[in-house]
Amino acid sequence: MILPCNESMNRWINDSILRFLSAAGPYLSNMNRASEVSRTESWPDARGRYGEFGGRFVPETLMHPIEQLTEAFEAARRDPKFQAELDHLLRHFAGRPTPLFHARRLTEHLGGAQIYLKREDLLHTGAHKINNCLGQGLLARRLGKTRLVAETGAGQHGVATATVAAFLGMDCTVYMGEEDMARQAPNVFRMRLLGAEVVGVASGSKTLKDAINEAMRDWVTNVTNTHYLLGSVLGPHPYPLMVREFQRIIGQEAREQILTRTRRLPNLLVACVGGGSNSIGLFYDFIPDREVKMVGVEAGGRSLTLGEHAARFAGGKPGVLHGTYTYVLQTPDGLIANTHSVSAGLDYPAVGPEHSALYRQGRVKYCHVSDAEALEAARDSSSWPIQNPKSQIQNLDDDGCRYISN
Amino acid sequence: MMTAVATSRIEARFRELRERQAKGLVVYLTAGDPSLEATGELLAAIERGGADLIELGVPFSDPLADGPVIQRASERALRAGATLRKILEHLPRWRDTLRAPLILFTYFNPVLQFGLEKFAREAAQAGADGALVVDLTPEEAGNYGGVMRAHHLDTIFLAAPTSTDERLELAARSSTGFLYLISRTGVTGERAELAASTRTLVDRARRVTSLPLAVGFGISRPEQVREVQALADAAVVGSAVVHTIEERYPSGGAAAIEQFVRWLKEGTGSSPA
């Protein structure tokens, strides 16, 4: 099992494994039949669609800037100089490659499944977010932009954006829900220390969704000199594509590392899914490996009542939010629901459109973990053993299979 | 043989303005702000004040093209239960007392969840004349135009200072009734001065379309209305009216809003306090 470490990693590094064990069992039993041959290599199409999902649903003012961004991204990804600079920075600034750690005691405790952790938390600024921020930062410079705006939930993306802005000598404004500012105060301090302006957002649920609204309003107003450095595989095309391409290094490294170490592919990948950038990053290069199963873990919050969780595939339906057509938690009237999760980075009512496509296709299975289960797992993780998940994992790994989580 | 071509209420209104050599005033308000009952009374007052066309906003939970004034109005309206369904239920009664064309101004998701065909059918039956979906560009519109036209509803798209000539043409080709030009990059809201980009955009639009042109975003005073009317066929005032509803309707009633619209229309005197 490979678990990617992301913004909420300190909790999730433990609880995704544990919760996956209890929640994923039923999914996995259905996963033995061959899933549809992957079409994802060709996703997205020219219109930014992943099957029926994705697209560009934005006010007209943003359309041409988005077209320019798409062109610049397509040119950059084919430009060896751009790739070389990004690669250099990923190595020497961010700290790649990250280790793939064999969690020996967890493996023993859980009864034999070989568990590996992809340590994205060891990157500079503490999360995978820096991969994408470096890529988009270089792209913004290429576009001649002098200012970055970003949203942040837990603060990890805000810190990574502020870091890249400081590195590139750009101005930086980060929008953050007031509730998130209160629960993630140390990251607010870090962003300000790095020279970013942090603007509290008091509208709506005062969390990530509202921060994105405000960042988009800033972008539409200052679009001539400003790049919106969106932090996940969300938003209008090309963002879901671009962020995936900047994050897939997680899976590329993990795949090479596990093959070198164990001479085989893992049986299962597990990752938490907020917007879904760390999970897409881990999953993407394993998608053609049909024997590798994948589980995305969503935030189950307090309960599965609308407004109490962020499990889009458990309670949402397709709709449009923040420029993309995807699964969205919403009322029957099409109003976007508030969400709740103890994890600020997962507390968001929509999900990246490629996840919706992978869900629809069945290539990735999605489950959810409640606040209580996550907190319990975090508590228990300091003093293995734990009762419940053990029997579950034994069902999963009689063959001594390997799991990677991130 | 002549074929009868149905003329929409919007087309007819612009034709009538042209015949009188007059320019139009388009007024925006959010339906359900502060209540659905108030909206009926406000629509009548806005027409009496001199609005030539009315944009009726459907409140959305995440109005990312709107500034703080319309955000607050949307919140009030949603608290008052003004969903798209409720608005369409009330619309026939409001329509009865109005002559001005009514354009539904909405975000896409409520329409999508309501169902496009059902939206077009019920909006037409309720007496709406067209729709403007702020986060739906011509590329993503799919069969929206066809469905709306089948119900004799006009589709109005936006063009912005950032739109290329190609995009400007696309917006014009996809629009019926009129083309809505955004005067500046940014969200809706009152501004002290009209953006310099307005004239350029109007000139560029004239070169690609014969549709009437309405200019909005940031227009809040009679001088600005005049300035826009000198360039385009109509000026749109939104946030300034919504702001006035927020501040004056609770104490001054609909008469205060009628007075404000008249001030915008006639441009004389100072802002009625």
SS3 sequence, chain B? Answer: CCCCCCCCHHHHHHHHHHHCCCCEEEEEEECCCCCHHHHHHHHHHHHHHCCCEEEEECCCCCCCCCCHHHHHHHHHHHHCCCCHHHHHHHHHHHHHCCCCCEEEEECHHHHHHHCHHHHHHHHHHHCCCEEEECCCCHHHCCCHHHHHHHCCCEECCEECCCCCHHHHHHHHHHCCCCEEEECCCCCCCCCCCCCCHHHHHHHHHHHHCCCCEEEECCCCCHHHHHHHHHHCCEEEECHHHHHHHHHHHHHHHHHHHHHHHHHHHHCCCCCCC
pLDDT of residue A25 exceeding 80 = no
Residues of A in contact with B62 (CB under 8 A): 204, 209-210, 213, 321-322, 336
pLDDT of residue B2 exceeding 50 = no
Contact B205, B171 (CB under 8 A): no
Tell me the per-residue pLDDT of B116-173, one tens digit each, with 9 for 90 and over. Answer: 999 999 999 999 999 999 999 999 999 999 999 999 999 999 999 999 999 999 999 9
Residues of B in contact with A203 (CB under 8 A): 71, 75
**Is B246 noted as a catalytic residue in this protein?**
no
Which residues, including other chains, have CB under 8 Å from residue A355's CB and lie 6 or more apart? A233, A273, A276, A279, A280, A296, A326, A327, A364, A366
Residue B256 amino acid letter: A
Strand, coil or helix: what is A6?
coil
Strand, coil or helix: what is A65?
helix
Looking at residue A7, what is its pLDDT?
40
Confidence band, pLDDT 50/70/90 cuts, at residue B190: confident
The Cα of A310 is separated from the nearest Cα of chain B by a number of Å equal to 17
Measured in whole angstroms, the distance separating CA A232 from the mean position of its chain's CA atoms is 6
Question: pTM for this structure?
Answer: 0.91
Contact flag A334-B84 (C-beta cutoff 8 Å)? yes
Strand, coil or helix: what is A137?
helix
DSSP structure string for A67-91: HHHHHHHHHHHT-HHHHHHHHHHII
Residues of B in contact with A319 (CB under 8 A): 109, 112-113
Measured in whole angstroms, the distance separating CA A77 from the mean position of its chain's CA atoms is 21
Mean pLDDT of B243-270: 91
Which residues, including other chains, have CB under 8 Å from residue A377's CB and lie 6 or more apart? A11, A14, A15, A17, A18, A19, A369, A386
**Category of A150 on φ-ψ map: left (φ > 0), alpha (ψ -120 to 50) or beta:** beta
Cβ atoms within 10 Å of A45's Cβ, excluding its own = 12
Search chain A and give the residue with CA nearest B111: A334
Cβ of residue B114 closer than 8 Å to a chain A Cβ: yes
Whole-number Å distance between alpha carbons of A264 and A75: 35
What angle do the packed helices B239-266 and B222-231 form, to 10 degrees?
80
Looking at residue B69, what is its pLDDT?
97
Measured in whole angstroms, the distance separating CA B84 from the mean position of its chain's CA atoms is 16
Q: What is the DSSP letter of A96?
A: P
Residues of B in contact with A59 (CB under 8 A): 64-65, 134-135, 158, 160
Q: What is the DSSP letter of A92?
A: I
Mean pLDDT of B257-269: 87
Least confident of A382-391, B156-165, B173-182: A382-391
Whole-number Å distance between alpha carbons of A53 and A354: 7
Contact flag A220-B65 (C-beta cutoff 8 Å)? yes
Confidence band, pLDDT 50/70/90 cuts, at residue A39: low
Looking at residue A205, what is its pLDDT?
83
pLDDT of residue A37 exceeding 60 = no
Search chain B and give the residue with CA nearest A332: B113
Whole-number percent of chain B with pLDDT over 90: 90
Which sign does the torsion angle of CA B71, B72, B74, B75 carry? positive
Cβ atoms within 10 Å of B193's Cβ, excluding its own = 11
pLDDT of residue B254 exceeding 60 = yes
Contact A406, A118 (CB under 8 A): yes
Cβ of residue B182 closer than 8 Å to a chain A Cβ: yes
Confidence band, pLDDT 50/70/90 cuts, at residue A20: low
Token match 């009679």: residue? Answer: B222
Whole-number Å distance between alpha carbons of A97 and A100: 9
Residues of A in contact with B63 (CB under 8 A): 213
pLDDT of residue B271 exceeding 70 = no
The Cα of A64 is separated from the nearest Cα of chain B by a number of Å equal to 6
Which entry of B33, B47, B52, B55 is annotated as an active-site residue? B55
Average pLDDT over chain A reads 87
Mean pLDDT of B28-47: 98
Per-domain residue ranges of chain A:
2-44+97-125+247-405, 49-93+129-243
Tell me the per-residue pLDDT of A100-121, one tens digit each, with 9 for 90 and over. Answer: 999 998 888 888 789 999 999 9
Angle, alpha carbons B116-A327-A60 (nearest 5°): 60
Confidence band, pLDDT 50/70/90 cuts, at residue A34: very low
What angle do the packed helices B197-208 and B165-174 form, to 10 degrees?
60
Contact flag A336-B62 (C-beta cutoff 8 Å)? yes
Contact flag A334-B167 (C-beta cutoff 8 Å)? no
Looking at residue A22, what is its pLDDT?
46
Mutate to test the interface with B, among A47, A61, A228 (most CBs of B within 10 A): A61
Confidence band, pLDDT 50/70/90 cuts, at residue A42: confident
Whole-number percent of chain B with pLDDT over 70: 96
Measured in whole angstroms, the distance separating CA B207 from the mean position of its chain's CA atoms is 23
Q: Would you identify the CATH topology of the domain A49-93+129-243?
A: Rossmann fold (3.40.50)
B7: exposed, middle or buried (Cβ count in 10 Å: 0-12, 13-18, 19+): exposed
Whole-number Å distance between alpha carbons of B23 and B40: 25
Whole-number Å distance between alpha carbons of A282 and A3: 8
Structure tokens at B253: 């009633």
Q: What is the DSSP letter of A32?
A: S
Strands A197-201 and A171-177: parallel
Least confident of A170-184, A258-272, A277-291, A384-398: A384-398
**Is B66 noted as a catalytic residue in this protein?**
yes
Cβ of residue B162 closer than 8 Å to a chain A Cβ: yes
pLDDT of residue A48 exceeding 50 = yes
Mean pLDDT of A61-86: 97
Ranges assigned E (strand) in A193-339 = 197-201, 226-228, 268-272, 293-301, 317-321, 324-328
Which sign does the torsion angle of CA A159, A161, A162, A166 carry? positive
Q: How many CA atoms lie less than 13 Å away from A131 in the CB half-sphere?
A: 30
Whole-number Å distance between alpha carbons of B79 and A132: 38
Average pLDDT over chain B reads 95
Search chain A and give the residue with CA nearest B186: A221
Measured in whole angstroms, the distance separating CA A298 from the mean position of its chain's CA atoms is 11
Whole-number percent of chain A with pLDDT over 90: 77
What does R_g of chain B's alpha carbons equal in angstroms? 17
Cβ atoms within 10 Å of A179's Cβ, excluding its own = 18
Confidence band, pLDDT 50/70/90 cuts, at residue A233: very high
Contact B159, B139 (CB under 8 A): no
The Cα of B140 is separated from the nearest Cα of chain A by a number of Å equal to 7
Confidence band, pLDDT 50/70/90 cuts, at residue A30: very low
Structure tokens at A26: 């039923």
pLDDT of residue B70 exceeding 60 = yes
Cβ atoms within 10 Å of B256's Cβ, excluding its own = 18
Contact flag B64-A47 (C-beta cutoff 8 Å)? no
Tell me the per-residue pLDDT of A304-327, one tens digit each, with 9 for 90 and over. Answer: 999 999 999 999 999 999 999 999
Per-domain residue ranges of chain B:
9-13+22-266
> What is the tally of helices (H) and strands (E) in chain A?
17, 15
Supply φ then ψ for residue A371, to 5 degrees: -50, -50
Domain A2-44+97-125+247-405 = CATH 3.40.50.150: no
Whole-number Å distance between alpha carbons of A1 and A404: 3
Residue A235 amino acid letter: G
Contact A151, A174 (CB under 8 A): yes
pLDDT of residue B96 exceeding 50 = yes
Contact flag B185-A47 (C-beta cutoff 8 Å)? no
Domain B9-13+22-266 = CATH 3.40.1120.10: no
